[in-house]
A and B are shown apart, each in its own frame.
Chain A
């Protein structure tokens, strides 16, 4: 395989495996928030605001993988 083909494979692998962890984590976070809102509906405002910020933080992990994939595709030091 040439460097270009390996790079494309590596980018796909980085994004696909990098999405697994954040997906599980976001699922747990939303489930916990749902439970908390079901118990205390009056605190839904504060909870959902915290949830959104937390989700964006977790999502950053997937974004890091995306950036690595972009670097591999567009700024690869081994491709001239």
Chain B
């Protein structure tokens, strides 16, 4: 019997809090991203060097994509959505490193990210429309839609979580099964496919988060 992919064995304990593998991997990715961005942005110049130009390209592309989806300036949302995208890309790509399991293959990580998106939608929605205006947007176009809109808030967060978790986990399963059947060279094309799927899933998660926030602040309906 193989270990349950839904369970998480604790690695070690800090006080009463058990620390599991995905948490440690997430910390490593967070440290890598923080130190990397610090090192890259420490000396910004008017004439960009190689690294600064690459960084500007990445940030500029993400900002442009968010702006095109939201029909509004992306500056306010760039810190949240850009970090979300870069973190997801790194987390999904971490399966390439031998011995590392992507933290997104566990439902807790995907659930936490989906919860962040869930709360961000309400936060930005209330901030830009006011509390009453935001609550009134649930009863549009008619009051009959009110229960459906409320249910949709929960189900779309749930599907955001399951989509990310299931895709990454199923990739892990496929690679593990093929490794058990034929270990040498055969799994490499599947692992390459996994890298592609990880990138696409990171993109989709971010695009959906952008669309949800855009619908929350009402910028997408206004056009």
Contact = CB atoms under 8 A, between A and B. Distances in A.
A72 B194 CA distance: 25
Contacts of B170: 63, 66
A26 interface: no
Given A53-B203, A60-B163, A70-B5, 8 more contacts: A59-B167, A60-B159, A60-B166, A60-B167, A64-B166, A66-B169, A67-B162, A67-B166
A52 interface: yes
Interface in A18-63: 52-53, 56-57, 59-60, 63
Contacts of A52: 200
Contacts of A59: 167
Interface of A: 52-53, 56-57, 59-60, 63-64, 66-67, 70-71, 74-75
Contacts of A64: 159, 162, 166
Interface of B: 4-7, 159, 162-163, 165-167, 169-170, 197, 200-201, 203-204, 207
Contacts, number: 41
Contact of A56 (B4, B7, B159, B204): B204
A19 B201 CA distance: 19
B207 A53 contact: yes
A63 to B, nearest CB: 4
A74 B4 contact: yes
A56 B193 CA distance: 13
Nearest to B199: A52
